[in-house]
Amino acid sequence: MLHGGIATMLLDSASGATGSMTVDPLGLAPFLSVSLNVQFVAPGRPGRVTAMGRITGGGKSLKFISSELRHEDGTLIATSSGVFKRVSEEKLT
């Protein structure tokens, strides 16, 4: 079974990467999780899973992002919605 903590990490990572790709085509601009709500829909069975994010709103520094985690057979395992903040260039050095 897929542990809920791992499912949450995958959703969080997909959301952050989605935010990053809105400002950098390579997805290298870091985004931090401000909040993340996860809803578990079905058990995670053995096999591959895919997490995909989608921007639902926000502005220059904050993005609202929803994500889905699906089993390779298409079964929805979990969803998330969260707020993600872009890390400024000054704070990276």
Q: Is 19:84 a contact under the CB 8 Å cutoff?
A: yes
Sign of the torsion formed by the C-alpha atoms of 50, 89, 63 and 32:
positive
Q: What's the Cα-to-Cα distance from 35 to each of 10, 15, 73, 81, rounded to whole Å? A: 15, 11, 29, 8
Query: 69 near 45, Cβ under 8 Å?
Result: no
pLDDT, tens only, 4-46: 999 999 999 999 999 999 988 888 889 999 999 999 999 999 9
The residue ranges of DSSP E strands in 8-93, in sequence order, are 31-40, 49-58, 62-71, 76-86
Q: Is the pLDDT of residue 61 over 80?
A: yes
Q: Is the pLDDT of residue 93 over 70?
A: no
pTM (global) more than 0.85: yes
